[in-house]
A and B are shown apart, each in its own frame.
Chain A
């Protein structure tokens, strides 16, 4: 099975213009970016955002999210098997940026081997292994969003482990 492939030019327009239409629908901000950046700390203080509830997730079907703000697109995944860094009762829930750390193209998810793939220059990243670049041009592995789950099954993002493409501070 092949995932949705977008025409390059169309994708570029999509990313520059209309991405808000599909992104951020499920995110609820607990701490605004403005609140986060107001304090001068050694590290950027990341907001804690609710992304979804476990009940919203279907195994191996990506859910579009944003974190730490609506300009930073990501994907929330229930992989079906526990992975290192996974959360939830099955230890299989993870979240990643979908902006390729090479040139910022938006990647698509391949449910076939649980990878994120860049249509621009063919870099790809393993969602089952901390976003390790399987092959590609990026000089870092894929930013992974750090997650927690509360008693109600709500999933929160609390941080990120690499610099997100297109921003020199993870909180703008």
Chain B
């Protein structure tokens, strides 16, 4: 039976409630919300003058009303040390979402920690240290001293290469410009850490190297381009689920305005189904290609465009490189780059070749090329906006595949123009501002393998949970735990000794192959089980935080509540760590090294913002951003006039390209040569297992469920990770809906719940990624591309039943997720 909150009435927001700008914590779209807070002993009333909306709340409010909020949008939280009412609801005036809430963002209030209502009591409130065989709470001073004394010993007795850092690089949530600057300054300025990785991949690298090398930054359009275009070309993305209000508030109006849509995805996604409802099936072309064959498809489309003369010759002549090869293929460039003619020597692919490789009819590929590029009857060029995400970013041959897609947008002049753009859709919001990472090198170190090989002595982890979100996770977990346990055992054995004796014992264990683990996070995560020191961070709205969305829209999301317990913003934790390093190093006699850790005298997150982002963007301050509200300003900010920050609607509007840093400002085409499975081990794995295990997202979960794992509404719906299966495959294997299954291959094992899905192809399943109850990464092999980009999407395994449905899984609905109108 479905979970019900049994709430029959909510407190009314009084007319004088405090109002705060909020950008959703979660996906890249960054919907605008408003937070309202007011004292616990006060309440609004139903009369228009008694409530924030100025309407009579004793009457029913109708569809799309501003004057209603769901129970999930309400909570009681701490503000300036006092309990207050909180409502966080979608902002009807924000251009991003126009009042639409998502199933993720509209639960922000409910997912706040509250000692009054009992929500999110999993949040960390105090530092924890491994002591006496368990994690024990302690003071910041004590915990940080242990962190920096061990770290300082290891980097001075060895080198900074012995310090391994996993750190988020995203915006929103607990990311943002303040926090990436804090960690960036610590590890890239005070230190030069090169053994580092990002939250979702095993190295410190771009997910989209090729588009940048071609001169085109990956977020170059405005969301309004979806409403101005003739064709939406979506690849490896499922925006109805994962960029929900970009889809509903921008793509759907485009479709309803006559735009067609081409979707490239092996799976029939809900985006395909919903788009058919909105635009009519005749206006949606779904190319359900064989997994991993996108590049061949793109090359065939490009070939059609060139051979039919549908290119934008002016754009190509004026804005793209003309002299053959500009950049040769080498260890840092998995494909050569240059002129269109140069690229075509490699890319040329016939419709028939592509149809054979991709498993879709040649006529459909031809149709896609027509929808993307064939000029209108009056000769005017066709506008096409191209969007892509993890299907190819975490797919086969990342560099060349993304390059091949960007080639199409360049050949048709669909960059920097209304109704155009070639953009990744994004996962988190962005919020990256750090000193140069050039010292990391390219290709960057494959950090997971570095740790697995027994290298590194200290591991600092900032809001990453590799247990749930890395590849080859089964092996990674085994080794990480074994090495961390060596240090735990040493700490246990040193009980009763002095601090110096403890440090000596830890360093001795490290020298014997152990790993000292420091985990900074908002919850006690799965990888946190290996930590020796756990430092509690706070989230967005427990601090002020700036981030930008998928159209580079920069907003200040305002603090409206206190950090939980003694938790702190990541930037201030980094500053405290730096100050402690300076102190410890000076005490150790390393004065010159200690001096490198000066400059962290930050009292607030705004100090970190001014130390970092503001230095590079002097027009941008908190006060000015606050005044820009939930619409914010689109980066780059180019001025401040008449009290308003002046932004940039779309990049490259002048036809010059600079993301590659070339002086000629000409964009480069990519010589994207098809070579089948690029990453090691994929072809063999495909040949030896029955099922392709597609790795997918669902709208209800945010990322690895770090908060949702304690949200009853979410866990009631999907108590185990779903594995969508064709019903005939289930019959074959005597599986019933909700049965627990294991997925097995040479890399490891994971578990999930069989979810019958008629639109699934035979022998292909779609498993939701990042679940705490079954990590898909366990069965993904360690194969990466030349630049250490993982291919999470391509994984094959066998399936066997573990047990009949549990009481929880038997009680949920298994009906099709496709709407039936």
Contacts and interface: CB of A to CB of B under 8 A. Distances in A.
Contact of B70 (A46, A139, A144, A170): A139
Contacts of A161: 4, 6
B731 interface: no
B60 A138 contact: no
Given A101-B70, A108-B821, A124-B820, A132 B717 contact: yes
A160 interface: yes
A166 B68 contact: yes
B2 A139 contact: no
B298 to A, nearest CB: 29
Interface residues of B, number: 53
A113 B813 CA distance: 11
A120 to B, nearest CB: 8
Interface residues of A, number: 62
Contacts of A139: 70-73, 101, 103, 106-107, 110, 713
A115 B820 contact: yes
A117 B816 contact: no
Contacts, number: 165
Interface in A41-64: 43-44, 46
Given A140-B5, A140-B71, A104 B717 contact: no
A132 B73 CA distance: 19
A121 B97 CA distance: 13
A172 interface: yes
Q: Which of A16, A121, A136, A161 has the most CB of B within 10 A?
A: A121
B815 A141 contact: no
Interface string B49-66: 000000001111111110
Nearest to A99: B63
Contacts of B819: 117-118, 122-124, 135
A44 B59 CA distance: 16
Given A139-B73, A170-B8, A85 B1 contact: yes
A18 to B, nearest CB: 12
Nearest to A102: B101
Contact of A168 (B68, B716, B820): B68
Interface in A97-155: 99, 101-106, 108, 110, 112-113, 115, 117-124, 126, 128-142, 144
Contacts of B240: 122
Given A117-B821, A132-B812, A163-B10, A12 B70 contact: no
A131 B4 CA distance: 9
Interface in B640-654: none
Interface in A1-40: 2-3, 5, 12, 15-16
Contact of A104 (B10, B57, B62): B62
Contacts of B821: 2-3, 5, 108, 110, 117, 119
Given A132-B812, A139-B107, A163-B7, A110 B820 contact: yes
A67 interface: no
A46 to B, nearest CB: 8
A5 B4 CA distance: 29
B3 interface: yes
Contact of B4 (A71, A112, A162): A162
A20 B818 CA distance: 31
A141 B4 contact: yes
Contact of A122 (B274, B812, B813): B274
28 contacts: A103-B64, A115-B815, A119-B821, A120-B63, A122-B240, A124-B815, A124-B819, A126-B813, A129-B812, A129-B813, A132-B717, A133-B2, A135-B817, A137-B101, A137-B244, A138-B70, A139-B72, A141-B2, A141-B4, A142-B2, A160-B8, A161-B6, A162-B4, A168-B9, A168-B57, A169-B9, A169-B10, A170-B9
Given A126-B815, A139-B103, 19 more contacts: A15-B63, A44-B9, A104-B63, A106-B63, A110-B820, A112-B820, A117-B819, A119-B821, A132-B812, A134-B816, A135-B270, A135-B699, A142-B2, A144-B4, A163-B7, A163-B10, A163-B71, A166-B61, A170-B9
